[in-house]
Amino acid sequence: MAPPILILRDIHLTFGGTPLLEGAELTVSAGERLCLVGRNGSGKSTLLKIAAGIIQSDSGERFLQPGTTLRYLPQEPDLSGFATTLAYVEAGLAPGDDAYRARYLLEQLGLTGEEDPSRLSGGEARRSALARALAPQPDILMLDEPTNHLDLPAIEWLEAELKSARSAMVLISHDRRFLENLSQATVWLSDGRTRRLDRSFTGFEAWRDEILEQEEVARHKLDRKIASEMDWLHKGVTARRKRNQGRLRALYDLRARRRTAKIPAGMTTMEASLGEQSGQLVIEARKISKSYGETPIVAEFSTRIQRGDRIGIIGPNGAGKTTLLNLLTGSLAPDSGSVKLGANLQMVTLDQRRDSLDPTVTLSAALTGGRGDTVAIGNRTQHVVGYMKEFLFSPEQVNTPVGVLSGGERGRLILARALAQPSNLLVLDEPTNDLDLETLDLLQEMLADYDGTVLLVSHDRDFLDRVVTSVIVSEGRGRWREYAGGYSDMVIQRGIGVEKKAVEKPRRAKEPTASRAAATAPAARRRLSFKDEHALKALPARIEKLQAEIARLQAALADPALYARDRAGFDKVAAGLHEREAALAAAEHEWLELELKREEIEGA
C-alpha cells in the first residue's frame, strides 16, 4: 500500500460544551478512495473540514505531505466576488492546469460559464463549486455530498469522471450506489470515534451491524457483572467493605464504565398513518399533453395506476417530472387528454421544499401544531417524544428551534409531519434529499409495508431499485415511457440510463426576429463544443505518445529470451501492448470523427 499523504490522529473537538470528536482518526494514501459514513450530526462534515485544514481541532495531529494539492467541496459554497461561474472555477486553477477543463466541467454539469453568481440557485452554486474542485485534478479530493442537486445523468457522469481520476478521494454521500461504485475503503464515524473497514461501502452495513451486536453483548455482560457485584456488596455490607476494599473499588470502576458507555441510537420503525382503502383504480391518464409556450413537457402520455403500485418518475432536471406528477394527481390540468382519479383517495404530498417550516417554532410545536404534547396520527394520539424517537430524534431535542436543525433533521421532520396524516396515496417529490443512510433505511421499510399507492420522484438509483414496481422515464421532447421494475431494470430494458438535457447557451445579442432566428438556428446548432475543440487539439499529441509506447513495447517483445527469462514480465508487456493498441485505435477513431465534424461545420 502507498504511504499516507494525509494523516489525522487522535482528533478531539467540542462544540458548545458537547464533545463532537473524541479521538477520531483518518489516513489517506495516494490514489485511495474512502467513503466517510455516519449519522447526520455525527461530525462527518466537521472531520472533513479539519482534514482540509479549514477548521482547527482542539487537540490531535494533522499531517499533509509537503507538496500535496488538496481541494474541498463544501455543502454551501461562497461565489461572492466573481463576475461569472467560469471566473469562479478558473480562479481555482493553478499555473500549468488545463484551462479548457473549467469550461468543460461546467458544461457537463449543466452550466454555461456565463451565469451571474449572485443569481444562482443553491443547486447551481453547488455544481459550480464541484467544477472548481475537480478542475485542477488535485492529489486529494474531499467531496461533501457531491451528488446533492444533481440529476441522474449528472450523477452517472460524475461517477465516470471520478473513476478515471488519479486523485485520492474522501467522499461523504447518502447515495448508496454512488458510494458502492467508487469507494475502496469505508471509515465509520460514530460517538466521536472512527473505525475503518478496508472494503468498499458494499460490505459496510453487515460489518457495522456485527460491531453493534458485539457491543450490545459486551454491555449486557457488564450489566450482569455489576448486578453480581452489587449482590455481593449488599450481603454483609460492613464486613465486606472492611475485608475487600479492592473489590469494592473495582465495582465502582464497573459502574463508572457503564455510566460513560455510549449506547448507539437504536433503529426504530417509521410508520405511515393509513387512511381508508382506495378503489382498485387509483389514476388513469389518457393521452395527456402539456406544453409551456412551444416547449412540450408531456406529449400524449397514458397510464393506469392500480392500488398498491409504487411508481418512480425519473428524468434529467428540467424534463418536467414535477409537472407530470401534478398532472397525474389532478393539481394541474392538461392541455389535452384526460385524468381520472379513483374513488376514496386520501392523498398526502411530501413538501420537500420545506416552505411550511417555521424556523422559530420548536420541534415539538412543529409536530403537535402547538397543541399540547401529543401528536395526532390518524385516529390515535402519541406522545410527541415517542413519535420523535421513531424519526431518530432524541428526547433532548424536544424544545430545539426548527431553524437550528440540520438539513437531514429538517427532512426527517417533514417526513414525520406528512406521515402522521391519514393517506392511501403518498406523493413524494425528492424525499431522499439530505437524509442519512439510517433514515433512508427506515423510509424504504415503511414504503415496503405501506398498503396504499406511492408516486415517487427521485434521483437515487438504489432507493428506486428497492422501492418502486415500475418507472416512468423522460425520453425527451415531452415523451414519457413506463418500464416494469426499478431503475436497474429500466436500464437493462432500455439499453441506456437517463440522458441529460442539453444546456441552452445564453443569448448575448438582442432577441432576433422569427425569420432571422430561423436563418441563424442551423449555424447555432452546428458548432463544436468546448470539449470537442479541446479533444481535437489534444488528440494528436496523445496519438503520438501512444505510438511511441507501442513501438517500445514491441521492441521489448522482440527479445526472444524474454519469455523464458521472465514469464510474468512478458505477460505484463504483452498486456500493456494490447491496452495501448486499443487506446490508439479509439483515439484515432475519435480524432477522425471530430475532424470530419469540424470540416462539415466549416463547409456549411
Which residues are documented as binding site? Answer: 38-45, 315-322
Phi-psi region of 116 (alpha: psi -120 to 50; beta: other; left: phi over 0): beta
44-65 burial, b for 16+ CB within 10 Å, e for fewer?
bbbbbbbbbeeeebeebebebe
Q: Torsions phi, psi of 453, nearest 5? A: -110, 150
DSSP string, 113-167: S---GGG--HHHHHHHHHHHHHTT--SEEEEESTTTT--HHHHHHHHHHHHH--S
What lies within 8 Å, CB to CB, of 16 at 6+ separation is: none
**How far is the C-alpha of 270 from the C-alpha of 447, rounded, in Å?**
9
Question: Which triple of cell numbers denotes residue 272?
Answer: 405511515
DSSP string, 441-476: HHHHHHHHH--SEEEEE---HHHHHHH-SEEEEE-S
199-234 burial, b for 16+ CB within 10 Å, e for fewer?
ebbeebeeebeeeeeeeeeeeeeeeeeeeebeeeee
For residue 242, the one-letter residue type is K
Closest by CA to 335, choosing from 366, 307, 296, is: 296
Helix (H) or strand (E) holding 484, with range, is strand 480-484
Closest by CA to 123, choosing from 77, 81, 89, is: 77
Phi-psi region of 392 (alpha: psi -120 to 50; beta: other; left: phi over 0): left
Question: Which triple of cell numbers denotes residue 492?
Answer: 437493462
Residue ranges for the binding site for ATP?
A: 38-45, 315-322
DSSP string, 243-275: H-HHHHHHHHHHHHHHHHPPPPPPP------B-
Question: Which triple of cell numbers denotes residue 587?
Answer: 483515439
What torsion do the CA atoms of 32, 38, 41, 42 make, to the nearest 10 degrees?
Answer: -80
**How far is the C-alpha of 379 from the C-alpha of 275, rounded, in Å?**
9
